[in-house]
Structure 1
Amino acid sequence: MRVTFLGTSGAVPTVERAPSAVYLNREGDEFLFDCGEGTQRQMMRFGTGFGVSHLFVTHLHGDHVLGIPGLVQSLDFNDREAALAIHGPPGSKRHLRELVHAAGHDPGFPVTIREERAGAVALSREEYEVRTFATEHRTSSVGYALVEHDRKGRFDREKAETELDIPPGPAYGKLHEGQSVELDDGRVIDPEQVVGPPRPGRRVVYTGDTRPVDATVEAAAGADLLVHDATFLDEASDRARQTAHSTAAEAARIARRAGAKRLALTHLSSRYAGQARRFEREAREAFDGEVFLPDDGTEVEVPFPDAE
């Protein structure tokens, strides 16, 4: 799983940072979380390609959605045929439709728009789900968590061959699928004799703009990567409360409570241009896990928890 930060600025972009957009590639399934101005150019600049199938919008503030018209039209100009699904918070469908059809543009490929309430499953696949959770901003908003299902336990081939004398063949596959098998000598072998416990999948959580809330702690429990609003430093905590954003320290405390492994601080206010290291230092005082403040173009791999 690969995450590419396309836009890491707050509401006002800077020379170094574009508005909010995060690309995620999970085993070839490509997703975009928020779509600030110029996202399609960032996708070209950082080599993600345009294979996105689902766009998950956290809320309707301009720095999170004004890239939608450009992205849709760029996809159209590239002769896209595959459908694009756009997910947004309650009350967003009409506005998202207007963005898709901005300036009278009628895309030549299917675009569907869905409103997603907090606590729902926005996308369900055999191996994972994208779930929504409640966030607290100045408008209707949700966050998103990509949660993989547990994987099968490891098959102990050495034990199967040497200790249990199970002949290689179809029996191995059945056991790994959870079925008991009867051997030619009459012995019955149960899966738990050769298959280890289920192995956890990965969890990536994206809050969008929000105050620190308990729902994020729940959604990010044990997360491999939590991408959290960190618009301000603690010196501007009053401003963070007034604008319904978070400070770096507040994001770190959420990550600590959730037991997240890594914390990415995003949505950096333009007032702090060139001061990224201050955010990391402040967050590390409240969180012992890995903390980083990504630049535009930062790419991170999200390995399986049991990866060696």
Structure 2
Amino acid sequence: MHVTFLGTSGAIPTTERNTSAVLFRREGERFLFDVGEGTQRQMMRYGTGFDVSHVFLTHLHGDHVLGLPGLLQTWDFNDREEALAIHTPSGTKPEVEDLVSVAGTRPSYPVRVDEVAAGATALRGEEFEIRAFETDHRTRSVGYALVENDRKGRFDRERAEELGVPVGPKFSKLHAGESVELDDGTVVDPEQVVGDPRPGRRVVYTGDTRPSTPVERAAEGADLLIHDATFADEDAERAPHTGHSTARGAAKLAASAGVERLALTHVSSRYGGYAGHLGEQAREEFSEAFVAEDGQGVDVPFPDAE
């Protein structure tokens, strides 16, 4: 799994940071979370590809959605035929429909707008799902967690051969959870040669939010948490009033949730081209925190990767 940060600024873009957008690539599928103004150019600039099948909006503030009409139009100009699903918080479908047809016409390809409530599954795949969770902003908002299913346990080939299982199809059957019978009538069960299930990956994107218990629960054990870090300590009093977090607040939540890595994003334009002190403040609470930069890519390996 790979994550590309397309926009890491707060409400106002800067020369170094575009407004909010992040793209997840998993097993060939691409999912776009938020579409700030200029997102399509960021996708070109950083080579993410345009074959996105699902767009997930955390809320409808302009810095998270104003890039959607242009991106939809570009897909239309490029003769897109594949259907697109846009997921948006409950109660916001009419406004998103307006964005889809803001130029007076709808795209020629199918576009479906689905509302999603906190606690619901927005998308279910064969080996993963994307779940919405409650966030604490100034408007209807949700965050999203991409959660993979547990994987099969490791197959112990050496043990299987010791038990007399011949190399070949019986190995596959055992790894798939089926018992096999050997030529002498001995039955070998999967539990004898297959280890415990191994966890999949979890990547969590909060969008704009104050630190909160629902966010912490959604982030529990995440391999990567992408969290609002709009403000530094010196502006901490603004964070709760504007529905945002400080870098330190995000880091405290990450430590409490037991995540592996924390990416700080939605950085206020007041910090200009230097946001290093946000990372420094965050790492006083959680050592694996970093300030995400536009164009930065992050690989998310399996928890047991060697």
Range of TM-score over shorter length: over 0.9
Count of residues paired in the alignment: 306
1:170 is displaced (CA, Å) by: 2.0
1:142 alignment partner in structure 2: 142
- Once residues 216 and 131 of structure 2 are traced to their aligned partners in structure 1, the CA distance between those partners, rounded to angstroms, is 14
**Is 1:100 the equivalent of 2:89?**
no
Output the amino acid matched with 1:99: L
1:17 alignment partner in structure 2: 17
- Other structure's SS at 2:289 match: strand
- Other structure's SS at 2:103 match: helix
1:169 is displaced (CA, Å) by: 2.2
**Is 1:121 the equivalent of 2:129?**
no
**Is 1:131 the equivalent of 2:131?**
yes
1:302 alignment partner in structure 2: 300
1:274 is displaced (CA, Å) by: 2.3
8 Å contact from structure 2 (residues 164, 182) kept in 1 = no
Query: Which ranges of structure 2 fall in alignment gaps of 5 or more residues?
Result: none
1:165 is displaced (CA, Å) by: 1.4
8 Å contact from structure 2 (residues 205, 225) kept in 1 = yes
Deviations 1:162-191 (Å, cap 9, x if unpaired)?
A: x11111222111111111112121111110
Structure-to-structure mapping, 1:233-252, within 5 angstroms: 233-252=232-251
Output the amino acid matched with 1:243: T
Deviations 1:242-283 (Å, cap 9, x if unpaired)?
A: 101000000001100110000000000000112211011000
1:55 alignment partner in structure 2: 55
8 Å contact from structure 2 (residues 116, 122) kept in 1 = yes
TM-score normalized by structure 1?
0.98
RMSD: 0.8
Structure-to-structure mapping, 1:275-294, within 5 angstroms: 275-288=274-287, 290-294=288-292
TM-score normalized by structure 2?
0.99
1:292 is displaced (CA, Å) by: 1.0
Query: Which ranges of structure 1 fall in alignment gaps of 5 or more residues?
Result: none
**Stretches of 4+ moved more than 2 A in 1?**
none
Output the amino acid matched with 1:282: Q
Output the amino acid matched with 1:201: G
Output the amino acid matched with 1:137: H
Output the amino acid matched with 1:6: L
- Once residues 7 and 240 of structure 1 are traced to their aligned partners in structure 2, the CA distance between those partners, rounded to angstroms, is 20
1:63 is displaced (CA, Å) by: 0.2
**Is 1:188 the equivalent of 2:203?**
no
- Once residues 148 and 132 of structure 1 are traced to their aligned partners in structure 2, the CA distance between those partners, rounded to angstroms, is 14
2:264 alignment partner in structure 1: 265
Identity among equivalent positions (%) equals: 67
- Other structure's SS at 2:250 match: helix
- Once residues 299 and 167 of structure 1 are traced to their aligned partners in structure 2, the CA distance between those partners, rounded to angstroms, is 43
- Once residues 135 and 296 of structure 1 are traced to their aligned partners in structure 2, the CA distance between those partners, rounded to angstroms, is 24
- Other structure's SS at 2:140 match: coil
1:88 is displaced (CA, Å) by: 0.5
8 Å contact from structure 2 (residues 136, 212) kept in 1 = yes
Deviation larger for 175-184 or 141-150: 175-184
Output the amino acid matched with 2:179: S
Deviations 1:116-171 (Å, cap 9, x if unpaired)?
A: 0000000001100000100000000000000000000111112111x111112221
